[in-house]
Amino acid sequence: MTHSPLLTWRVPTAQDVMRSPMRSHVYSTFHPNEIQLDSIILDSDWTNPDMMLTKDNFEKLDKWQIDTALATWRAMSNSMSPGL
């Protein structure tokens, strides 16, 4: 495959940009930085229950979200001065 069928950024339209230079700039960075999931997800991952979230198996999501939230908080607290 040349690209992942799961998620692909389309070229932004004029309606997406809404005459905003900032939106135009941000949207222009999506496609060149797209990550090809088929290059990081192995075929065996699709059958590995530890790699999949389903409506009956979502308990791991809570832990992932907590870990991500704590990591974000740590990064923000280290990069922002207390006076901000």
pLDDT of residue 37: 74
Largest CA distance in the chain: 50
Q: Of 50, 76, 75, whose CA–CA distance to 63 is shortest? A: 50
Contact predicate 17/23, CB 8 Å: yes
Would the pTM of this model clear 0.75, i.e. be above it?
no
Of residues 17 and 52, more confidently modeled: 17
DSSP per-residue letters across 11-35:
PPPHHHHTT-HHHHHHHHHHGGG--
Contact predicate 38/75, CB 8 Å: no
pLDDT of 18-76, one tens digit each? 989 999 888 888 877 777 777 788 888 888 877 777 777 777 778 878 888 898 888 88
